[in-house]
Structure 1
Amino acid sequence: MAANLSPRAALVNGARLWQCRAIMRLPALLPAIAALLTLLTGAAAAQTTVFPAQTGSAGNELSVYSSLDNDLAAPLIQAFQARHPDVLVRYRNLLTGDLHDRIVAETQSGEGTADFAFSSAMDLQIKLANDGFARAVETPDTAAWPDWANWRDTAYALTFEPAVFAYHKPSFAGRAPPATRTDLMRWMAEHPDQAQGRIGTYDISRSGVGYLFMARDQELYPDIWSVVAAMGRAGVQQFATSGELLERISDGRLAVGYNLLGSYAAEWSRRHPEVGVILPRDFTVVVSRVALVPAAARRPDLGTSFLAFLMSPEGQTLLSQTLRLSAVSLEVAGQQSPAGGMQDLAGLRLKPVPVSPGLLAYLDQATRAKLLARWNEAIAGH
């Protein structure tokens, strides 16, 4: 019968036979496929950079897990090694979720984990500390550290990053840009032709820091949903990253960016003078990158030494210069231009997100779903 099939039918039958044989062989292939996926996922999620010891390492190896990009981390590590030339540093750049999960998995396996963890996901870092995956450590600067930036000596805020308005300077030539949420609503109402489709913010369903900023806005500002609804009527555009927003503000596709992470906005403004940055005058939410020494660290002494360096005046000054942020250290903050040179903090209502178990509420799935639903309703004008 096969000999009577048309060439097309024979081809179809042959394809079906190949599919059936492939499906039958699938169970035997699954382990190899799983191993390959693990390898590929691990390679994509973790970038490891080795900073050799300056005087030769005799087993002194510091392992760091961090969400900070390598080019920003390098000067911090090199300055630490100038103090500790016999220490090799193995730096793994991880996504914030992967950083948390890796520390948990490695601790539970008993194999030991990183000696120092530094992440922009405040909530996940506090979860590690709250769940017993961080150890209490004291440094020479612990006693003077602000209360809001230290939870039980297990989790320390090391940076001071405000949520800002960024704006396209040429679009506001001859008039002041919005400096409060009320100003923003007034500008959208009085200049609909200039505002329509030219307001941007984070997509809070995809941006962790965007979600955290909006959650804090909701807690601090009863009329926040009127602001969101007004942005929705003006055709607000949502993006997952700061870079996407700032690129569009630079070329004028967007006139205003709402609740951008100040560290990125300040650095972008330095390199692109057409972008202006304002810390809101009604209130300014401040988030931080949080550091801890894992309980299962293989070299907790080295992890503590690196933490002590980043909390020291030298480390805080370097963090400020590298990330263009205000220092958490009150000693250093009083000697530097605030907020990476954005503007004077005097007179602002600063609202830092405390390093505390209160952050765990942001991880609750029901709470998250409720906030996202409210956001989508307001954006849609309901």
Structure 2
Amino acid sequence: MRTPVLPYRQNLASCAALVNGAGLGQSWPIMRLPALLPAIAAFLALSVATSGAQTVLFPAPSGTSAREIVVYSSLDNDLAAPLLQAFQARHPDLAVRYDNLLTGELHERIVRETRQGTGTADFAFSSAMDLQIKLANDGFARAVVTPDTPDWPDWANWRDTAYALTFEPAVFAYHKPSFAGQEPPATRADLVRWIAGHPDQARGRIGTYDIARSGVGYLFMARDQELYPGIWSVVQAMGRAGVQQFPTSSALLERISDGRLAIGYNLLGSYAADWARRHPDVGLILPRDFTVVVSRVALVPAAARHPELGAELLSFLMSPEGQTLLSRTLRLSAVSLEVAGQQSPAGGMQDLAGLRLKPVPVSPGLLAYLDQATRAKLLARWTEAISGR
């Protein structure tokens, strides 16, 4: 039996806050989304929480709905709302059912519903790049060509079935008061030197993801291992300093904001930037030696009940308007070359010029991260290094 649906009103204040600038150790200009806030103010939704899932229903703005699009996504409701409202402004008779799922549950639900023959979501959007590529590779996604497909970067498109829509760097987040009078580490070598030079300040005050429980944390570390031969000496140094591990970004950022942690390693940039905007003691640094970049990947499931609606939403989010909204809402640089070329530093996280950006390609190469033997080997090496050995 389905859990009862409970009344839920979208928090206008949190939606309005999304369109204000975020700080990276500096003040950002205020950015607003014209004509969007009145729609949000009038928005009444319904919500249900089951296991790790939450469903939000966005009624058609016109008040009458002949169609409904179903979206499965791992993007938080507050961040998704402006995007979906803007899409509905183009389609005022369209209602949206938004299922906010854990990445593993999103993947499993699409596979299960496809095999049951009941139909599944019309659009899927997830931060688990490897699981999204597995869906596409295993035949659970359909090819969709949008007006922007011909100009989409090659690394961000796999066979027109899976598209990277965001550009999310792994960042260092730090407690500004803890680094008063000194520069926080800007490279991995800097981090090791800071640990060695400030043992009392570093002891127990470094945080990172628990890569056994955090999918994005695991992906970041796997990429670090591929790109940086000295990564295990960095992990050993953090381990000797009593590094703390957490499964979520919010757990890390809460402790950085109040000073329990001095610095966080390899945090997902979208959440860190939003937290920094709301907590002035949190600063961010994009590592200067190299910056791993991951993406949220979108696809239209092969068994979508209304694939034409999924294709419409994909086209919107790949359009200059959609990419600008994604950039402003998530405080990230756009994947779209057209939008990225027009952005000021305030349009994304900061000026990316001069950084060694290392985006994770949307390709079957991601499937290697799902190999159980490869995963077990990396986790064993992590456990050994984090113990300081």
Band the TM-score falls in, shorter-chain normalisation: 0.7 to 0.9
> Where in structure 1 are there 5+ consecutive unaligned residues?
1-34
Which residue does the alignment assign to 1:237? 244
The question of 1:51 aligning with 2:58 is answered yes
Which residue does the alignment assign to 1:199? 206
Partners of 1:81 and 1:87 within 8 A in 2: yes
Structure-1 separation of matches of 2:196 and 2:340: 38
Other structure's SS at 1:293 match: strand
Partners of 1:277 and 1:342 within 8 A in 2: no
Structure having the larger proportion of residues in helix: 1
Which residue does the alignment assign to 1:265? 272
CA-CA distance at 1:233 after TM superposition: 0.7
Partners of 2:126 and 2:297 within 8 A in 1: yes
Structure 2 counterparts to residues 128-139 of structure 1, below 5 A: 128-139=135-146
Partners of 1:115 and 1:293 within 8 A in 2: yes
The question of 1:158 aligning with 2:149 is answered no
1:370 aligned to which of 352, 377, 386: 377
CA-CA distance at 1:57 after TM superposition: 4.6
CA-CA distance at 1:332 after TM superposition: 0.9
Give per-residue Cα distances to partners, 1:282-313, cap 9 Å, x unaligned.
00000000000001111111100000000011
Report the more deviating stretch, 149-158 or 325-334.
Answer: 325-334
Change (3 A) 1:274 1:182: same
Structure-2 separation of matches of 1:122 and 1:376: 24
* Structure 2 residue identity aligned to 1:218: Q
The question of 1:94 aligning with 2:101 is answered yes
Which residue does the alignment assign to 1:79? 86
CA-CA distance at 1:342 after TM superposition: 3.6
The question of 1:283 aligning with 2:290 is answered yes
CA-CA distance at 1:54 after TM superposition: 2.3
Structure 2 counterparts to residues 101-180 of structure 1, below 5 A: 101-180=108-187
Partners of 2:119 and 2:303 within 8 A in 1: yes
Partners of 1:325 and 1:339 within 8 A in 2: no
* Structure 1 residue identity aligned to 2:275: W
The question of 1:246 aligning with 2:253 is answered yes
Give per-residue Cα distances to partners, 1:259-282, cap 9 Å, x unaligned.
011111111111111111000000
Structure 1 outlier segments of 4+, above 4 Å: 338-341
1:69 aligned to which of 70, 76, 88: 76
Structure-1 separation of matches of 2:195 and 2:347: 29
CA-CA distance at 1:112 after TM superposition: 1.0
Give per-residue Cα distances to partners, 1:216-251, cap 9 Å, x unaligned.
000000010000000011111111111111111111
Other structure's SS at 2:382 match: helix
Give per-residue Cα distances to partners, 1:42-63, cap 9 Å, x unaligned.
8223322211222355532211
Report the more deviating stretch, 338-347 or 239-248.
Answer: 338-347
Structure-1 separation of matches of 2:287 and 2:271: 16
Change (3 A) 1:58 1:253: closer
Q: What is the TM-score with the length of structure 2 in the denominator?
A: 0.86
Structure-2 separation of matches of 1:119 and 1:358: 17
The question of 1:188 aligning with 2:195 is answered yes
Change (3 A) 1:301 1:235: same
* Structure 2 residue identity aligned to 1:104: V
1:335 aligned to which of 331, 342, 359: 342
Change (3 A) 1:381 1:76: same
* Structure 1 residue identity aligned to 2:265: Y
Partners of 1:285 and 1:350 within 8 A in 2: yes
Give per-residue Cα distances to partners, 1:51-86, cap 9 Å, x unaligned.
122235553221111111111111111111111112
Which residue does the alignment assign to 1:310? 317
Structure-2 separation of matches of 1:330 and 1:57: 37
Other structure's SS at 1:68 match: coil
Structure-2 separation of matches of 1:294 and 1:243: 30
Structure-1 separation of matches of 2:80 and 2:340: 21
Other structure's SS at 1:247 match: helix
Change (3 A) 1:125 1:265: same
Structure 1 or 2, whichever has the larger Rg, is 1
* Structure 2 residue identity aligned to 1:236: V
Q: What is the TM-score with the length of structure 1 in the denominator?
A: 0.87
Structure-2 separation of matches of 1:261 and 1:330: 22
Partners of 2:334 and 2:348 within 8 A in 1: no
Percentage of pairs with the same residue: 83
Partners of 2:49 and 2:55 within 8 A in 1: no
Two-structure CA RMSD over aligned residues (Å): 1.8
* Structure 2 residue identity aligned to 1:188: I
Structure-2 separation of matches of 1:45 and 1:251: 27
Structure-1 separation of matches of 2:267 and 2:112: 33
Structure-1 separation of matches of 2:258 and 2:85: 36
